Copies of this chain bind each other. A is one copy, B any other.
Amino acid sequence: MRPGEHMSERESVSEFRVRYAETDQMGVVYHANYLVWCEIGRTDFIRSRGMSYAEMELGGILLAVTDVTLRIHASARYDDVVRVATRLAAVRSRAVEFAYEITRVGDGARIASATTMLVSINPQGRPVAMDPGVRALLEAGSVVG
């Protein structure tokens, strides 16, 4: 098995163009938008595991962000095609941590690295254990075979 295949099991990859709305007057992407991109990566990661976060929410499991780290290496710009590589960093009974690498597709430049911790809550906002089935699906790709 080649390294790339390991990677594709452990990571999901999302690609999209930078929107004009995402820039600020510095001429680059406003930094808070990198967290929005991480959310896109997270949604795609969950989908790649055969689930849908939209359905998880309808089923009463919500994942609320509690901790963020974000390091910006270079600026993304309007109309850049960017790639978010998302991987599962840790799963616990009530929390899950994702890690993200954001790069520009054109030249491969590293744009940003981030982590987010999310806690599993019910619709009333109380922390709850994740469904074992959900946890198993999330973990499916988290260990290199």
Contact = CB atoms under 8 A, between A and B. Distances in A.
Nearest to A25: B23
B27 A52 contact: no
A116 to B, nearest CB: 8
Interface residues on A, range: 35 or more
A67 interface: yes
A14 to B, nearest CB: 10
Contacts of A32: 21, 32-33, 35-36, 39
A25 B72 contact: no
Output the residue of A20, A21, A70 with the most chain B CB within 10 A: A20
B16 A65 contact: no
A91 interface: no
Nearest to A39: B20
Contacts of A72: 64-67
Contact of A125 (B30, B62, B75, B78): B75
A144 interface: no
A71 interface: yes
A31 interface: yes
